[in-house]
Structure formats: C-alpha cells, structure tokens
C-alpha cells in the first residue's frame, strides 16, 4: 500500500511574500544548520592560524557557510519534493507545498553556488579545487538516502570539507594535522544527524527512505555512544597535535557532559526529544570552539 500524504492542517504556514518563501526555502528562519557548519569551520580557521584568523578569511568563510548551507537546503528540498509530503515535519516546505516551483528553486540554487564560488575565488587554487569536491558532495548528499543507509556519513563529508579548505586558504597547503579536525567533524555530524533521523524513523520506514537511524535500529543509542567516545578521543588527540592549553582540555569536560545529556534526551526515543538533542548539539560545537579560541588566542 502506498503511503498517503498527511493532512496539510498540521503546522500550516500563513500566506507569505515571495521573499518570505525564498527565505524559508533557504531555511534562514531556522539557522541551526548554519551554526553546525560554522563551528568546524571556525575550529579549522583558528587552528590553522594558531591564533585569530585573518579578517578577510573569516569573512569569506562565514559568508560561504551561510551561502552553502542555504544552497544545501534548496537542493535537498528539490530532491525530496516528492518525499516531504509524506512526513509531517516537512510537508509544508515551499516546494512540496507548491509555494515555489521546483525550477525556480534550481535557479536559486545556481545563484547561491555562483555567489559562494565567487568568494572562493578570493583565496587560492588549492582551496578552489577543494571547493569543487565540497560542491559535488553537497549535490550528491540529498539523493544518497535513496540508495544507502549512510547519508549521514555523506553529509559529514560535505560539512567537513570546510576544514581542509580553511587550512589551505590559510597555509596554502593541507597539513596532516588538519585531518584530525576533518575526522572529528565527520563523526560529530553522524552523531547529531542520526539523532535528527531518529525523529523521522517511523515515517522514513514507511516511505522507504534510508538513514543511519534505521540501520542502527535498536542499537542506535549504543552506536551513538561509541561514536561520542570516538569523537572525544579525537578531540583529546587534537590537544597534543595542535599543542593546545588546559583551557581547551577543560572545555572537553563540558563536551563530555553535554554528550551524557544528549544520551539522556534520546533514551526514550521520543521524536521531540531526539529533535531537541539534535538542536542542542550546537552547544557541543560552540564549547569546542571557545576552548580552541581561548587556547590559541591567549
């Protein structure tokens, strides 16, 4: 039996202006994705510089994060336009609801990519090459949930590409130490996006969408816990690799406590709690950044 779209009476949006529709499509009204992409980018910029990064690069990468996250949301909604109607949380997204035509969404995606690429042109050739890989991953990611249970891993790779780009823009090379930060970003993304997927697991199973939450099944909390421990170990290793101070080490204690809290939130696997734990991961990235910034800048 084919699933039927749920009633559009849930979470209905009032009629908006054209600008408001485009802002919703880019998810600028929900900036959590910007924060989750921004934190690893800032980690990398500060670690690459060994202090406060160049203002030019800070502006380029901050704007780039906003543009690429917005572009990612647009292409994701384009890819999922026939799927989102079956999920209560997403059925009122602009393309699915008919507020914006999918061809207009593709034009917006192209514009955002051009703007983001224009920023990258202000760096160096190595960073431009890495940006091309990042763009490919951003385009491929929304479609991976149809053929693999690891779309969260692909998203992690896409988000983590900001790390070697930050190092290459700063140093004109990507040192081996940068890959510790890259790996930490991938693992962290899988952790919080699996929590996100746990909130949609029942509906995803009905429509045939794949995710790590479905793959991990009843072992989801255990595997997330293992990933959290792995992330902590890499973060601890980064202290030695980048010669960070005790201020960074102390921040990791708070990170560990936040992870325990997230395990508590998802303990009953309630949708609202799983979604809240996803949102709350913003503080993990923030605390790590504060630890890094204080360590290298003081």
- How far is 255 from 277, CA to CA, in rounded Å? 13
| CATH number of 18-297, picked from 1.10.357.10, 1.10.10.60, 3.30.470.20, 1.10.357.140 | 1.10.357.140
Residue 16: name the closest of 92, 107, 80 by CA: 92
pTM: 0.92
Per-domain residue ranges of the chain = 18-297
- How far is 68 from 55, CA to CA, in rounded Å? 20
- How far is 294 from 251, CA to CA, in rounded Å? 10
Rounded to a whole number of angstroms, the distance between the first and last alpha carbons of the chain is: 62
| Segment holding 159, helix H or strand E | helix 151-160
Instruction: Please report, in tens digits, the pLDDT of each residue of the chain (298 residues total).
Output: 344 444 333 344 444 448 999 999 999 999 999 999 999 999 999 999 999 999 999 999 999 999 999 999 999 999 999 888 888 788 889 999 999 999 999 999 999 999 999 999 999 999 999 999 999 999 999 999 999 999 999 999 999 999 999 999 999 999 999 999 999 999 999 999 999 999 999 999 999 999 999 999 999 999 999 999 999 999 999 999 999 999 999 999 999 999 999 999 999 999 999 999 999 999 999 999 999 999 998 8
Crossing angle, helix 55-79 and helix 32-49, to 10 degrees?
Answer: 150
């Amino acid at each position: 039996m084919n699933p039927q779209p749920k009633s559009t009476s849930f979470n209905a949006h009032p009629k908006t202006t054209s600008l408001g529709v485009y802002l919703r499509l880019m998810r600028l009204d929900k900036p959590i994705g910007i924060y989750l992409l921004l934190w690893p980018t800032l980690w990398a910029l500060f670690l690459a510089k060994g202090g406060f990064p160049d203002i030019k690069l800070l502006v380029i990468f901050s704007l780039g994060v906003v543009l690429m996250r917005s572009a990612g949301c647009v292409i994701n909604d384009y890819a999922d336009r026939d799927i989102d109607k079956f999920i209560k949380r997403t059925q009122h997204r602009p393309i699915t609801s008919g507020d914006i035509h999918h061809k207009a969404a593709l034009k917006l995606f192209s514009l955002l990519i051009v703007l983001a690429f224009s920023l990258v042109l202000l760096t160096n050739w190595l960073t431009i090459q890495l940006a091309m890989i990042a763009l490919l991953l951003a385009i491929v990611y929304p479609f991976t949930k149809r053929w693999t249970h690891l779309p969260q891993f692909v998203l992690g790779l896409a988000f983590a590409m900001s790390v070697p780009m930050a190092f290459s823009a700063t140093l004109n090379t990507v040192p081996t130490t940068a890959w510790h930060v890259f790996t930490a970003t991938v693992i962290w993304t899988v952790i919080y996006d699996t929590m996100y997927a746990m909130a949609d697991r029942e509906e995803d199973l009905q429509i045939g969408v794949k995710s790590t939450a479905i793959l991990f099944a009843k072992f989801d909390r255990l595997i997330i816990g293992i990933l959290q421990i792995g992330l902590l170990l890499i973060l601890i290793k980064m202290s030695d690799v980048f010669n960070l101070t005790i201020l960074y080490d102390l921040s990791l204690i708070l990170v560990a406590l936040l992870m325990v809290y997230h395990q508590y939130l998802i303990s009953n696997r309630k949708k609202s709690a799983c979604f809240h734990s996803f949102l709350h991961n913003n503080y993990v990235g923030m605390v790590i950044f504060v630890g890094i910034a204080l360590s290298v800048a003081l």
